[in-house]
Amino acid sequence: MTPDLTGKTVIVTGANGGIGLATAQAFARYGARVVFAVRNTAKGASAARTAPGLTEVRQLDLADLASIRRFAADWQEPIHLLINNAGTSVPELERTADGFELQFGTNHLGPFALTNLLLPYITGRVVTLSSQAERMGRINFDDLNWERTRYKQSSAYATSKLANVLFSSELQRRLTAAGSKVLAVTAHPGFVATNIYDRSPGLGTKLMLRLLAQGPEDGALPVLHAATGHVPGDSFIGPEHWMHMRGGAEPIGRSKAAQDTEVARRLWDASEKLTGVSFSL
């Protein structure tokens, strides 16, 4: 059954392409007012024109805490859904405007800060995109910023995705303790052909994308189910088929590391220190 989001406001980060755009278009079809929170507002405006209904474009760079604070400071109205979709993956070590390793900074610390700053306005759900790559992640509290560890793209990405699951779980724990009805849910879109692979070298990746990857519209299905389906807080929603990599949406399992509540608390505390943003309820 198609949900009716008429009169609701939905924020989708990174909505100018890929899964984010497919998700934003679907929410617009559901009747929501959709805010495209994007780094490049010209590209965002072009993408927003492809979505039916009421849309708005606002500038947001998750690799820059000052940009995140500006976005949040300008927000003064209820948010039904916050979709933490934007993410990145880079082959070489790069850093955010604040000096964080780019993948950890953009994929985890940025959404962490944005969510907590907007939390007083959120009435429905926070959906954070992760990946089954979280199973290969490891939170190294001695070197969260990759200052001494030899950088490897896949390891850094997997760690950021593990951080996403741990963040969502700890957020739900804190929401429940605060008596909030807001739900925190994690979504894994599966293997999707998007521009996140543009800087991934090798013919193997290109061949796998061509033969096995699904399109952004299918990748958006777990996100939409996480946002509007009958699911409890701290759910992890992914595709139904091919080892949870393609088609449909259903609850899926997570790694032992992603279920470690003590690591989730430690990561939350570390993220507060790094961003200067704390739980706001």
Active site residues: 157
Q: How far apart are CA 44 and CA 64, in angstroms?
A: 18
Which of 62, 67, 69 lies closest to 104, judged by CA? 62
Q: How far apart are CA 143 and CA 27, in angstroms?
A: 39
Q: How far apart are CA 252 and CA 231, in angstroms?
A: 12
From the DSSP assignment, how many helices (H) and strands (E) are in the chain?
9, 8
Q: Are strands 250-251 and 236-238 parallel, antiparallel or unpaired?
A: antiparallel
Which of 185, 173, 206, 183 lies closest to 251, judged by CA? 185
Residue type present at position 6: T
Q: Is 198 exposed, middle or buried (0-12, 13-18, 19+ CB in 10 A)?
A: exposed
